[in-house]
Amino acid sequence: MLNKIFAWRRDRTVLPEKLSYQEARDALESHSNQIRRELARREEVEPEILYYLAEDGAADIRALVAANPNTPQQANLILADDEDENVRYELAAKIARLVPHLNELQTEKTRDLAIEVISKLAQDHLARVRQILAEEIRDSALLPHHIVRKLAFDLEEIVSIPIIKYSPLLSDQDLLEIISAAPTPGAVTAIACRPQVSETVSDAVVATKDVPAIAALLTNEGAKISEETLDDLADQAETVDAWHGPLAHRPELSMRAIRRVAGFVSLSLINALEERHDLEPGVKTFLRRRVRARLDKETLSVDEFDQREALRNRVDQAQDDAVLNDEYVLNAIKENNKELVLLALETLSELPLGLVDRMVASKNAKVVTALVWKAGLSMRVAYAVQQHMSKIHHEQLLSAKDGVDYPLTEEELQLHLEMYGVEPDEA
């Protein structure tokens, strides 16, 4: 009699929208794979029905059960050993998505079963099964340490890298062991990219001499790197282009390291170093010297560069000794050493040498006077530069006011500087 009553259900090819327990049981007796597939994907189906389908002869039906979030953990445990790789892949994708909600599972036994399923999948021989698991659980702090550690030491990068790079469960000791073992080529770089890296781990990364990993570490704002380690890297970095930019932008560089790095990085990176707000005045001066020297090296012959460097060293030494003043420049004028005068004005005015040269060569008394004022020298020096360096006709020379003062107001002096592109805030 029961067979007659439910015969219509067994003959249907589509299950009703709302399915009772009895109708689901009847569907299990159907020989239609279409109906069983539909049953396997239904989330409202009773867990025991899904448990039964977990051992169905059709792999595609078992895959649907593996993907069903309502499948009981006992069935998931069976599916974790399924011979079909797609079944295990679907299970890994589903079970990993449940990890953030492990603490919400109803009983401790259910949680333990879920963790056992994850542990099995973490040892699956198929890399893509382990991969999907690793990618989904990489941020979780709810899993047992041994599972995460197993994935972190996986020989396949697609499995290990997400865990190494993000897992909060890996301790410094774990990371040091990974660095030592280097299970995959990208493992050390992944550690260098972690959101937080301790000084101990940073030192271990640097000790590997892995160029990409060290570059990633230097770029990582969350990596703590000791001053001593940064100093050592600055000493080693000249021939390693990949470290130049990250080193120049590293906020904790010591003054020693900044001086060292400025000796070999590009002009743009020297400028980046100079823009730092925590630099001592002496270091800023040093960086400006490096910029000037680099520009000269790109434009002068070897002999010309050597000659200018010798003069520039004289000027720099005078500035360090606090004697780069009126008397120094006047003595250079008396020696008819125009190059030395120009270099002194360049250093004191903090304007490019080419601009200083153009202003002196302009034969405009007011422009030359404004330049010397910008350099912080007296009107006496301005008059001497007009007369002996610019060779301005005596009738056009601009003399001192009251014998010592500048004859132009500061506004007038600034106006003549602006004619050469020197903005007010630079004056």
Higher pLDDT, 52 or 342: 342
The answer to whether residues 401 and 329 belong to one domain is yes
Instruction: Quote the pLDDT of residue 102.
Output: 75
Higher pLDDT, 27 or 140: 140
In whole angstroms, give the CA distance from residue 194 to residue 179. 13
Residue 391 lies in a domain: yes
Residue 250 lies in a domain: yes
In whole angstroms, give the CA distance from residue 377 to residue 385. 11
With tokens 């592109």, the residue in question is: 421
The answer to whether residues 381 and 410 belong to one domain is yes
Q: Is the pLDDT of residue 157 over 90?
A: yes
Q: Of the residues 299, 330, 362, which one is the last residue of a structural domain? A: 299
Residue 332 lies in a domain: yes
Instruction: Quote the pLDDT of residue 266.
Output: 72
Q: How would residue 10 be classed by pLDDT, with cut points 50, 70 and 90?
A: very low
Instruction: Quote the pLDDT of residue 296.
Output: 67
In whole angstroms, give the CA distance from residue 169 to residue 195. 13
The answer to whether residues 373 and 411 belong to one domain is yes
Mean pLDDT of 377-400: 94
Residue 267 lies in a domain: yes
With tokens 């597939």, the residue in question is: 37
Q: What is the pLDDT of residues 263-280, one digit of tens each?
A: 777 766 777 777 775 667
How many alpha carbons lie under 13 Å from residue 163 in its C-beta half-sphere?
A: 32
Which tokens in the block code for residue 202? Answer: 């940073």
Q: What is the largest CA-CA distance in the chain?
A: 130
Burial class (CB in 10 A: 0-12, 13-18, 19+), 388: middle
The answer to whether residues 422 and 352 belong to one domain is yes
Instruction: Quote the pLDDT of residue 45.
Output: 80
Higher pLDDT, 64 or 16: 64
Q: What is the pLDDT of residues 226-275, one digit of tens each?
A: 999 999 999 899 889 999 889 888 888 887 888 788 777 776 677 777 77
Residue 256 lies in a domain: yes
8 A C-beta contact, residue 142 and residue 154:
no
Note down the domain range covering 250.
226-299
Which tokens in the block code for residue 42? Answer: 């239904």
In whole angstroms, give the CA distance from residue 347 to residue 12. 93
The answer to whether residues 294 and 304 belong to one domain is no
The answer to whether residues 249 and 359 belong to one domain is no
The answer to whether residues 323 and 283 belong to one domain is no
Q: What is the pLDDT of residues 407-424, one digit of tens each?
A: 999 999 999 999 998 877
pLDDT above 70 as % of the chain:
86
In whole angstroms, give the CA distance from residue 123 to residue 154. 9
Residue 79 lies in a domain: no
Higher pLDDT, 123 or 287: 123
Q: What is the pLDDT of residues 165-209, one digit of tens each?
A: 999 999 999 999 999 998 888 999 999 999 999 999 999 999 999
* Average pLDDT of the residues of the chain: 86
In whole angstroms, give the CA distance from residue 387 to residue 368. 10
Instruction: Quote the pLDDT of residue 331.
Output: 96
Higher pLDDT, 64 or 316: 64
Q: How would residue 28 be classed by pLDDT, with cut points 50, 70 and 90?
A: low
- How many domains, in total, are found in the chain? 2
The answer to whether residues 325 and 230 belong to one domain is no
In whole angstroms, give the CA distance from residue 161 to residue 189. 9
The answer to whether residues 257 and 313 belong to one domain is no
Kindly list the distances between the CA atom of residue 296 and the CA atoms of 82, 263, 303, 348, 349, in Å, as whole numbers in the listed order.
72, 14, 11, 18, 18
Residue 156 lies in a domain: no
C-alpha triplet 402, 357, 297: angle, nearest 5°: 145
8 A C-beta contact, residue 262 and residue 294:
no
The answer to whether residues 251 and 368 belong to one domain is no
The answer to whether residues 362 and 402 belong to one domain is yes
In whole angstroms, give the CA distance from residue 232 to residue 274. 21
Q: Of the residues 253, 274, 299, which one is the last residue of a structural domain? A: 299
Q: How would residue 223 be classed by pLDDT, with cut points 50, 70 and 90?
A: very high
